Amino acid sequence: MTTIAILGNGRVGGNLASALTRAGHEVTVADRTPGATAAAARTARIVINATPGAGSLERLTALREELRDKILVDVSNATTDGPDGLPADLIHPTSSLAEQLQEALPETRVVKTLNTMLYPVMTAPATLTQAPDVFLSGEDPQAKQAVRELLLDLGWREEWITDLGGIQTARATEAAILFVPHVIRSNGFTPFAISIAR
């Protein structure tokens, strides 16, 4: 059992919280009330950022002390929204939210994952008709191993998990968000994930 704090109580955060609780972890979900995020982060071993990516950097930088020596799992994408509310452009086109977080929080071990799919797939990958992929980006091998174990608890198979390397590789997976609005406009909100055919 791992103590996990999920920052963000929207669809993504709620979905992850339910699945990780079912898997036997001790999960706290923090909303945006003052002090809630700090209190949750302070008591957890792993913190999951499920806040809207456009404001994540500012919110999490304010938690520098609470996040010291913690594993921060970043599942968000930092984008501006188009007129229809779907992602339009990257906020960090020559970097990534994960890289920005790691730079701002040097004593926190940031791991990027679960950001290349619609949120229902995060906790039910086997429901897709084809094998999906999930990617890991981060500098700390032990942190990535801990996140890999969480992914297994969420139903991901070992062969579906690809470690891309350092945190700079997150800029590639974050850029994949630009596929999402076009796929949604074409096929609706049918669950899907970005996968590598082998």
Instruction: Provide the domain count of the chain.
Output: 1
Looking at residue 34, its pLDDT comes to 65
Strands (E) across 8-44 are located at 26-30
- The pLDDT tens digits of the residues spanning 4-32 come to 999 998 999 999 999 999 999 999 999 77
Residue 118 located in a structural domain: yes
**CATH at 101:** 3.40.50.720
pLDDT digits (tens, 9 = 90+) for 85-99: 888 899 999 999 999
Which pTM value belongs to this model?
0.95
**Domain-located, residue 192:** no
Residues forming a β-bridge with 161:
134
Residue 198 lies in a domain: no
Whether residue 99 is contained in a domain is answered as: yes
Q: Please report how the helices 53-61 and 97-104 are oriented relative to each other, as an axis angle in degrees rounded to 10.
A: 10
Relative to beta strand 134-138, strand 161-165 is parallel
State the average pLDDT for the chain.
Answer: 94
For residues 10 and 4, the answer to whether their CB atoms sit within 8 Å is no
Q: Which domain holds residue 108?
A: 3-187
pLDDT tens, position by position, 49-65: 999 989 999 999 999 99
